[in-house]
A = this chain, B = another copy of it.
Amino acid sequence: MFFDNQRLNGDIEKVEENLRNSVTSKNKLLVKAIADTVGAGGKRLRPAMVIVSSYFGKIRQENLIQLASAIELLHTATLIHDDVLDNSPYRRNNETVYKKYGTDMAIYCGDFLYTKALLMLADIVPANKLTIAARAVKTICEGEVDQYRDKYVMNLSVPSYLKRISRKTAVLFSASCALGALCAKCNPRITNSLSKLGFYYGVMFQLIDDFRDYKSGDSEWGKPVYNDLSKGILTLPAIYACRDSKEIHKRVQNYWNKKVNTNEELNSIISLICSSGGMEYTENYIKRYRQKALREIDKLPQSEARDILGDLINKLHI
């Protein structure tokens, strides 16, 4: 079990059980395809954020489990669709729906899960708060379209990059915290801090993911490495390196223009980026967002929940 706190672990276990039971349909193929993905695990960080945020208020246990499960299903839906776009055969060391059943099934499984998740949310979240979840999905789509638009674009600015990962990743973490707090009837000051904390945590999470994408041979997260650059996506280490070194800039450009696109060239560019100072530059940003998140913690009332959050923030590292 990933988390140190017993109460949190207990609740996450209930979420796991609920996830196993919540995807039902008379269509057996759909259920199987989805169960493979939902069951494949992952750290359940978003449900954890929902749950810990709710600890600052009061909520019926079954509603909390339902809320946290819905957020994880929403997240799973985005993953299933992402895998189509990235042509990803594996995620978390399992075959993706895309690889196993094809594009058709992956699109519909994602749509089905989006809807299932919004249905579950509509059951427990007050209608005027439901927009937080829907707006999060809307923003994730915008972030993914940003990424599509930015493909093979050199000279991407750091603010553009930060905006993209905010939309793509941080907004759902933020919504997780906000919904957990709101449904537990926390006061607006606490809800606001938790929402910000979730946002900074999400940026940090994506920065670390992008950092690890450059760390060779590190397959702990179950993803193929060195993937972003080969897909035409510039993340922070490469943005720094291309800005800092004319040579790296030129070689990325040539690689993308397919003038030189062997695996050797890719590996060589990645080595250059890794030793360019891009990794330290990214680490610096990770530190900065960790501090932002920790500063929000200071605004929360002292409690076990606050300690868990501090622990979650500090445990997230490269």
A112 within 8 A of B: yes
Q: Which residues of B contact A81 (CB under 8 A)?
A: 107-108, 111
- Asked if residues A134 and B107 are in contact (CB atoms below 8 Å), the reply is no
- Chain B min CB distance to A88 (Å): 13
Q: Which residues of B contact A123 (CB under 8 A)?
A: 127, 131
- Asked if residues A118 and B134 are in contact (CB atoms below 8 Å), the reply is yes
List which A92-111 residues lie within 8 A (CB) of chain B.
103-105, 107-111
Residue in contact with A107 in the complex, picked from B107, B116, B122, B126, CB distance below 8 Å: B107
A-B contact pairs, 18 of them (CB 8 A): A25-B142, A27-B145, A30-B142, A81-B107, A85-B104, A104-B148, A108-B148, A111-B137, A111-B141, A112-B142, A112-B145, A118-B118, A118-B134, A119-B131, A119-B135, A122-B122, A122-B134, A126-B127
A300 within 8 A of B: no
A149 within 8 A of B: yes
| Interface positions of A (Cβ within 8 A of B) | 25-27, 29-30, 78, 81, 84-85, 103-105, 107-112, 114-116, 118-119, 122-123, 126-127, 130-131, 134-135, 137-138, 141-142, 144-146, 148-149
- A118→B107 CA distance, assembly (Å): 18
Q: Which residues of B contact A109 (CB under 8 A)?
A: 141
Residue in contact with A141 in the complex, picked from B108, B122, B145, CB distance below 8 Å: B108
Q: Which residues of B contact A144 (CB under 8 A)?
A: 104, 108
- A114→B144 CA distance, assembly (Å): 15
Q: Which residues of B contact A134 (CB under 8 A)?
A: 115-116, 118-119, 122
Closest to A149 in B: B29
- Asked if residues A105 and B138 are in contact (CB atoms below 8 Å), the reply is no
Q: Which residues of B contact A103 (CB under 8 A)?
A: 84-85, 103
Q: Which residues of B contact A110 (CB under 8 A)?
A: 107, 111
The answer to whether A112 and B126 touch (CB under 8 A), given A30-B145, A85-B104, A107-B81, is no
- Chain B min CB distance to A128 (Å): 8
- Asked if residues B84 and A107 are in contact (CB atoms below 8 Å), the reply is yes
- A84→B81 CA distance, assembly (Å): 12
- Asked if residues A27 and B105 are in contact (CB atoms below 8 Å), the reply is no
- Asked if residues B107 and A145 are in contact (CB atoms below 8 Å), the reply is no
- A26→B144 CA distance, assembly (Å): 13
Q: Which residues of B contact A130 (CB under 8 A)?
A: 122, 127, 130
Q: Which residues of B contact A27 (CB under 8 A)?
A: 142, 145-146, 149
The answer to whether A115 and B127 touch (CB under 8 A), given A105-B148, A142-B30, is no
- A138→B25 CA distance, assembly (Å): 9
Q: Which residues of B contact A137 (CB under 8 A)?
A: 111, 115
Q: Which residues of B contact A115 (CB under 8 A)?
A: 114, 118, 134, 137-138, 141
- A84→B130 CA distance, assembly (Å): 29
- Knowing that A104-B148, A108-B148, A122-B134 are A-B contacts, what are 16 other residue pairs whose CB atoms are under 8 Å apart, sorted by A's residue number? A25-B142, A27-B146, A29-B145, A29-B149, A85-B104, A108-B145, A109-B141, A111-B111, A111-B114, A112-B145, A114-B115, A115-B134, A115-B137, A116-B134, A116-B138, A122-B131
